[in-house]
Amino acid sequence: MKVKVNHKIHELQEPCTAREAADKLHLTSPDQAVAVSINGTLSDFHHPLKEGDEVTFWNFDEPTGKEVFWHTSAHVLAQAILRLWPNAQPTIGPPLEHGFYYDFANLSLSDQDFDRIEKEVEKVLSENHKTQRVDFKNKQEAKEAFATNPYKCELIDGFTDDSISAYRQGEFFDLCRGPHMAGLNKIKAFKVLRTSGAYWRGDSTKEMLTRIYAISFPDKKRLKEYLQMLEEAKKRDHKVLGPALDLFSLKEEAPGMPFIHPRGMIIWNRLLEFLRECLKKGGYLEIKTPLMMSKELWERSGHWYHYRENMYTSEVEQREYAIKPMNCPGCMLFYRTALHSYKELPLRIAEIGHVHRFEASGALNGLFRVRSFHQDDAHLFMRPDQIREEITEILKLAEKIYTTFGLPYKMELSTRPEKSKTIGSDADWENATNGLKGALDDWGHSYRINEGDGAFYGPKIDIHIRDAIGRFWQCGTVQLDMSLPDKFALEYVDSEGPHKRPVMLHRALFGSIERFFGILIEHFSGKFPFWLSPYQVTIATVADRHIPFAKELAEKIDALNIVCDIDDSNDSFGKKVRNAQMLKVNYLLTVGDKEVENKTVALRTRDGVVHGEIDFSDFLAKVVKERDEKALMSPFSTAP
């Protein structure tokens, strides 16, 4: 039979399972074929193949592969825990962006138990159990199988249909939708990371459980690299560096709503200035929409029914309102304020909108996960024939923005989910997907197709940036929306007269500006490039008699819109140098008797190199050029 495997046609002998196909195609190394999709649906490896099937084998380096690899590993962790603590009750164990966790009731442990757990995990892995799926006929049968575990029974009661399954590996049997890897032999490295408390189902009124975080890999080298990355990440933690550099703070009075300090506002404003420069060159118009709008608007957009639990609401004069969690509906109302012609399209509307979303307190994480944040949204309205060109322009803008910060990136195209869960005709989806794919092909960068992971209202491109220590962050997104233009009855007058519905693209490149700020703190480890730095120049005086000259220099620097501080404290010169290093000042200028006499400065750069006496005018010319070019490297040193 002919089967398309990873976009190539292969001849396979019947009968053949996905596992057998992977073996025949030599996808057998630990990082290969850790997950499989058949006709766009994630499946188990025992699934039989038939003529014409489209099969995608996912490796560990792909998000889908990691998800299945880590979900299977969570079951291994639970199996080891139950061998060591037979009275513990497993609840849930999902994969995360990095690793996985499993929550247990009736379990108490500490860091001292980690080695013991890891040794038991090794025993489980050495037994190389095959994973077996069990499908229950109905909820009652499933509840009977888990009668001794009230947490599993509660989950079963909450299921909306009778399609319930469990997975067995050796003696371990767990409620699970799956799918899993075919066996455990691909898991070659395993590490318990930490433990914490967690409320059952995130509800503080319910029982506190023990959560165990862990991670696994298909080889020991990757585990070693990951642990090294964690150590480096600790040094770069924006939650530590941000307050230390006086950039932002978080207060109990406003959980998840950051306070940006004056030094942080220097960075914030420069990010927005840079963004607005890019928008102007890209032909965007900027708007500002209200922070709070009526319930009727959110009902029309669909947010009231699908996102209500994440929205902040209020009642004014017996009318319900919601603080906006997204900017999109406001932009739809703006579009409707005028009658538009095909000649105006594409119409690019940008908004740096302040939005609020409820996040559980336990999920809040510095600037990375907040309740109040700003999005660099844009909504582009166009004719269908303009999709490809507009996406190409967005990708050019993304390239400009990310390379300015020294951030490499990768892209994913997410296609139509299961047809019954989407809106729009087959022709609409084909046209939209071809537009996105064509633009990516024209762009010439490599990208991966994420089958079936698009939004219900259209396909999308996700852009993942990579920071200085190799972590990927999903920031940019380009989404084609076939829903909101219909809901808000958006129209334009075509060349032939009739009114037509515009195609709309959502796009964000910073994403959450607060989150992007946090990413930059960690990416640069607080050592911002000169144009972005909140501590560009500090002038340190050797003695009080040098203060007048320092002030004279500072006035000239300030006139160039460069941040300049004077350290004329009574601290020793060595302490002044250390203070500048702690604040990660780009350039420390020292003035003493010699410099006052020669009208020069002594330069020390952030990398610790002492350049000695230099001409002040030459210094200014170089740093102005460095700022204006938004250079990542200092002209005075080899370090940024």
Give the residue numbers annotated as catalytic, written as ranges.
Answer: 328, 357, 375, 377, 379, 460, 506
Full 3-state SS string of 173-186: EEECCCCCCCECCC
Burial class (CB in 10 A: 0-12, 13-18, 19+), 423: middle
At residue 96, φ and ψ (nearest 5 deg) are -120, -175
Closest Cα to residue 347, out of 332, 366, 362? 332
Contacts of 627 (CB under 8 A, 6+ apart): 530, 531, 562
Q: Tokens 């309205």 appear where?
A: 381
Q: How far apart are CA 275 and CA 280, in angstroms?
A: 9
The tokens describing 35, both together, are: 């997950």
Q: Which residues contact 308 (CB under 8 A, 6 or more apart)?
A: none
What tokens does 570 get?
Answer: 């009574």
What is the helix, strand, coil percentage profile of the chain, to 5?
35, 30, 35
CA dihedral 382, 383, 389, 391 (to 10 degrees): 50
Residue partners of 517: CB distance under 8 A and separation at least 6: 248, 264, 267, 268, 271, 367
Q: How far apart are CA 347 and CA 364, in angstroms?
A: 36
57 backbone φψ class: left, alpha, beta (φ>0; ψ -120 to 50): beta
Report the run of H or E that residue 8 belongs to, with start and end: strand 8-11
Tokens of 398: 């993304």
